[in-house]
A and B are shown apart, each in its own frame.
Chain A
């Protein structure tokens, strides 16, 4: 066999190279001589810069490394979403770390590496590339969750997350092995050609699809692979929890969408049964368990599990409207969930104990602006008009009905009604309860985070009133499908 130099096309990975270089620079920054102040600035500059680079590739379908990585419009949109989430997480982290009087270059470096991993996952066209991206992401997150080793809960959270995450990675890898056994290749696009020539093994492919869904199910924290989520979110630094609750889900949903799109023509029934089971179980267990939570972060964790259940419905008709509806839901989920976590970060600065929902009682009198923002995010998560969350749910339900899954929509609507209770309890506690002075002294400089939360709340309302613009962009991105 002779060596033929691959078609590298270095432009296709420029954003990742930028992130890698700046992350590496941050590793060696020390918190002395005023360098510490520049660290979050450099991190956010790197993310913004790569975020500006990515849209310039729009519409060109730039392929690199012999098409192992393809930057189509689909991946550009998902990567922009990941970049926006990471930027918000960096801003939250800046606030959180300043309260703890630390500024570690490694912390931000790991966030940048995680973004590289997610970008690779989204743009990768080969399961091995996707797996490596997933591992880069996971390893960074394991360390970030346990970054502050003086917090015992944090260490417990990271051990739980690491063990279950490693287990799910092993399942994903086994799925790749079955995939290779079924097709003789690991490229996702190989499925389509194999189906045309019927040169594949249906049993092995079904097993592969099930295992790949399982591995990704851990990453998106859907039932029955959700056990790690509440403990990990609660134990992790809240700034990390905010990243953890949104960004990996975006990347994993991008991969799921690609895999389901490729595999479902061959194994239609098995894949959709798996997804239906995961979606229904996530909606029911997530919402019911969230009712009983007293901790704010735990409640948000279970609400996240429930939201994933709603999103999974979009995967039932991926080649029709399900894909765009899922992407719209994900982009609105960034706004409302990152917003809710941002408010939680500001409120949680009472050191040494976890934040209970009842701690928020009467906070509206002291902090009217934050309470209003939190109310908007809660209303949006519950899916009440005129917020973005309503249209997100509306589009998902519409696609499911068009695809003939009426009973799932009925379950989803019932569960939405159930979810009203715990989302509105937060608002009730904030506005209707007796004021307790516990959180009245929110310390520190909150200008940056306040502006961000304001923008998020405004966007949540704005896209609730006029969702059409986002939908237009998304439909254009998915035109190739």
Chain B
């Protein structure tokens, strides 16, 4: 019963993702593209929940949906690109990008297929087994991966300083 409900949820999410992803590249209005991207990201969060990774789903919603998409929207409002001028203007580069992304997908898919059918995958998975509640992840992050946590703050500091330096007027400009 549970397996069937999971299947149903999976297919609903999958169809939603693919439809919205097509919307991202097909929409002529850039704002609509971003809105479709929002749906894609929410659906991705749904997939993470389905895989039993609630923390990742949470981060996906807080950071990507909550913050990164806002940045996208701001950029579009700042630049105000002409919708007609953007769409498929460079035919060759669009085809090249399409071929490369399809090729990449095929290669990665083939590798996943190969590795899934290999026997020693079970051997690997044995090491993976963990209970992934939020509490467990929190404990692991603040004990075994403490350095990574602290380095993140340094990375954010550099990012903030850099963002301010690149966007704020310098003192010379103002005077």
A–B touch (CB < 8 A): the answer is yes
Whether the pair B166, A129 counts as a contact (CB closer than 8 A) is: no
Which of B111, B125, B140, B172 lies in contact with A204, CB distance below 8 A? Answer: B111
Interface residues of A in 181-212 (CB under 8 A from B): 181-185, 197-204, 207
List the one stretch of B75-83, B84-92, B143-151 in contact with chain A.
Answer: B143-151
Which of A3, A113, A204 lies in contact with B143, CB distance below 8 A? Answer: A3
Query: Which A residue sits closest to B163, measured CB to CB?
Result: A143
CB distance from B63 to the nearest CB of A (A): 15
Residues in A neighbouring B123, C-beta threshold 8 A: 197-200
Kindly state whether residue B154 has any CB partner on chain A within 8 Å: yes
Residues in A neighbouring B136, C-beta threshold 8 A: 1
Whether the pair A182, B124 counts as a contact (CB closer than 8 A) is: yes
Query: Which A residue sits closest to B107, measured CB to CB?
Result: A207
Interface residues of A in 129-160 (CB under 8 A from B): 129, 132-133, 135-136, 139-140, 142-143, 146-147, 149
Kindly state whether residue B6 has any CB partner on chain A within 8 Å: no
Which of B120, B121, B128, B158 lies in contact with A140, CB distance below 8 A? Answer: B158
Interface residues of B in 94-141 (CB under 8 A from A): 108, 111, 114-115, 118, 120-121, 123-128, 131, 135-136, 139-140
CB distance from A400 to the nearest CB of B (A): 30
Residues in B neighbouring A132, C-beta threshold 8 A: 148, 151-152, 155
Whether the pair A203, B115 counts as a contact (CB closer than 8 A) is: yes
Which of B115, B124, B140 lies in contact with A199, CB distance below 8 A? Answer: B124
Which of B121, B146, B162 lies in contact with A65, CB distance below 8 A? Answer: B146
With A1-B139, A6-B146 known to touch, is A136 a contact of B151 (CB < 8 Å)? yes
Residues in B neighbouring A364, C-beta threshold 8 A: none
Residues in B neighbouring A142, C-beta threshold 8 A: 162
Give Cα distance in the complex from A298 to B83, angstroms.
37
Residues in B neighbouring A136, C-beta threshold 8 A: 151, 154-155, 158
Give Cα distance in the complex from A426 to B136, angstroms.
62
Residues in B neighbouring A13, C-beta threshold 8 A: 147
Kindly state whether residue B1 has any CB partner on chain A within 8 Å: no
Residues in A neighbouring B114, C-beta threshold 8 A: 203
Kindly state whether residue A8 has any CB partner on chain B within 8 Å: yes
Which of A4, A5, A139 lies in contact with B158, CB distance below 8 A? Answer: A139
With A65-B146, A203-B115, A204-B111 known to touch, is A133 a contact of B151 (CB < 8 Å)? yes
Q: Beta-carbon contacts of A65-94 to B below 8 Å, as 1s and 0s?
A: 110110000000000000000000000000
Could you tell me the dominant secondary structure of chain A's interface residues? helix
Residues in A neighbouring B140, C-beta threshold 8 A: 1
Whether the pair B142, A201 counts as a contact (CB closer than 8 A) is: no
Whether the pair A129, B139 counts as a contact (CB closer than 8 A) is: no
Q: How many residues on the B side are at the interface (Cβ–Cβ under 8 A)?
A: 38
Whether the pair B120, A113 counts as a contact (CB closer than 8 A) is: no
Residues in B neighbouring A27, C-beta threshold 8 A: 161
Give Cα distance in the complex from A185 to B124, angstroms.
10
Whether the pair B147, A203 counts as a contact (CB closer than 8 A) is: no
Q: How many residues on the A side are at the interface (Cβ–Cβ under 8 A)?
A: 50
Q: Beta-carbon contacts of A12-34 to B below 8 Å, as 1s and 0s?
A: 01000000100000010000000
Kindly state whether residue A110 has any CB partner on chain B within 8 Å: yes
CB distance from B12 to the nearest CB of A (A): 26
Which of B128, B142, B144, B151 lies in contact with A120, CB distance below 8 A? Answer: B151
Residues in B neighbouring A66, C-beta threshold 8 A: 143-144, 146
Whether the pair B146, A201 counts as a contact (CB closer than 8 A) is: no
Q: Beta-carbon contacts of B18-34 to A below 8 Å, as 1s and 0s?
A: 00000000000000000
Whether the pair B166, A8 counts as a contact (CB closer than 8 A) is: no
Which of B118, B124, B147, B166 lies in contact with A69, CB distance below 8 A? Answer: B147
- Max count, chain B CB within 10 A of own CB: residue among A4, A133, A139: A139
Whether the pair B166, A143 counts as a contact (CB closer than 8 A) is: yes
Kindly state whether residue B4 has any CB partner on chain A within 8 Å: no
CB distance from A7 to the nearest CB of B (A): 10
Kindly state whether residue B165 has any CB partner on chain A within 8 Å: yes
CB distance from B104 to the nearest CB of A (A): 10
Give Cα distance in the complex from A61 to B128, angstroms.
29
Kindly state whether residue A64 has any CB partner on chain B within 8 Å: yes
Whether the pair A4, B151 counts as a contact (CB closer than 8 A) is: no
With A27-B161, A110-B161, A199-B124 known to touch, is A146 a contact of B155 (CB < 8 Å)? no
Which of A68, A183, A207 lies in contact with B147, CB distance below 8 A? Answer: A68
Residues in A neighbouring B151, C-beta threshold 8 A: 120, 129, 132-133, 136
With A128-B148, A135-B155 known to touch, is A201 a contact of B118 (CB < 8 Å)? yes
Interface residues of B in 10-52 (CB under 8 A from A): none
With A68-B147, A198-B120, A199-B127 known to touch, is A143 a contact of B162 (CB < 8 Å)? yes
Give 7 CB contacts A-B under 8 Å: A6-B146, A68-B146, A110-B161, A132-B152, A139-B155, A140-B162, A201-B118
Taking A3-B143, A133-B151, A139-B158 as given, write out 10 further A-B residue pairs in contact, using a Cβ cutoff of 8 Å, ordered by the A residue number: A13-B147, A113-B154, A139-B159, A140-B162, A147-B165, A181-B115, A184-B127, A199-B123, A199-B127, A201-B121
Task: Enumerate chain B interface residues (CB-CB to A < 8 A).
Answer: 108, 111, 114-115, 118, 120-121, 123-128, 131, 135-136, 139-140, 142-148, 151-152, 154-155, 157-159, 161-162, 165-166, 170, 172
Interchain residue pairs A-B with the least CB separation, the first 10: A65-B147, A184-B127, A143-B162, A132-B151, A1-B136, A68-B147, A184-B128, A203-B115, A199-B123, A139-B158
